[in-house]
Amino acid sequence: MVKIAVYGKGGIGKSTTISNLSMALAEKGLKVMQIGCDPKADSTIKLHDGKRITTVLELLRTKGANASLDEMVVTGSGGVLCVEAGGPTPGMGCAGRGIIAAFDALEERDAFEIYKPDVVFYDVLGDVVCGGFAMPLRNGYADHVFVITSGENMAIYAAANIAMAVKNFSDRNYARLSGVILNKRGIENEEQKIRDFTAEIDSVVAGVLPFSPEVQKADQMNKTVIEAFPDSPMADEYRKLADSVLNLCKEG
């Protein structure tokens, strides 16, 4: 099982990228599980035609210990196994603690042993790398971390914080930083800027996603690019990135 945590600043296109990677790997016959770790609970929405699935925390609030694993794990497009951790009632709790509770619930129900996924993606908000948001880095949840960024300064700042957090855990044999994914936004010298950044943090560029109107069109259809436009050049970009991510994980 390859366990990958993907971090990035909010709005950087992280969930869109991960959902397309999940679909690309599912096309190869791999069993993929995608776990959304954002309180907005919209990581897997494009794998369900724009519909949000019931979150683990919602199930725990309404059913407690009676909440079953097959309610928490919902099959989406391409057979991708989808989980949304969810968040607390607004104003009533800590989002980070909510992620911890959701992870504990999955572990108590032997989620990985029962479903036996080949690849697990954790979709994690990267603006804050503390508490529950750091969970995928620790305790053996993820083995590899990839950071999605653009050439925008705030996105790079968030990526640098994530890289520092991973480095701080390096002496504990937790997840390692395996690469940076550039989601281009049309910034001047954007690709070189990110290559310089990855050299500074002693990492590599895992892939470069060009700007494509197909992403916006698929988004309006509430689908991934791979499902909406499977023969498009952008779908192939996601497939190429999926290969690169897996290869970097094998090297690590």
Q: Is 217 a catalytic residue?
A: no
- Say how far apart CA 135 and CA 154 lie, in whole Å: 23
Catalytic residue of the set 40, 184, 193, 217: 40
- Per annotation, catalytic residue among 9, 38, 123, 223: 9
Q: Annotated catalytic, 9?
A: yes
* Tokens read off for 190: 């954007």
3-state secondary structure of 61: helix
Strand partners, 35: 83, 122
Q: CA–CA separation, 207 vs 4, rounded Å?
A: 15
Residue 14 bears catalytic tag? yes
Given the residues 14, 38, 46, 223, the one annotated as active site: 14
Which is catalytic among the residues 118, 127, 236, 243?
Answer: 127
Would you tell me how many other CB atoms lie within 10 Å of the CB of residue 230?
13
Q: On the CB side of 110, how many CA atoms lie within 13 Å of its CA?
A: 2
**How many H-runs (helices) and E-runs (strands) does the chain carry?**
10, 8
Which positions are annotated as active-site residues? 9, 14, 40, 127
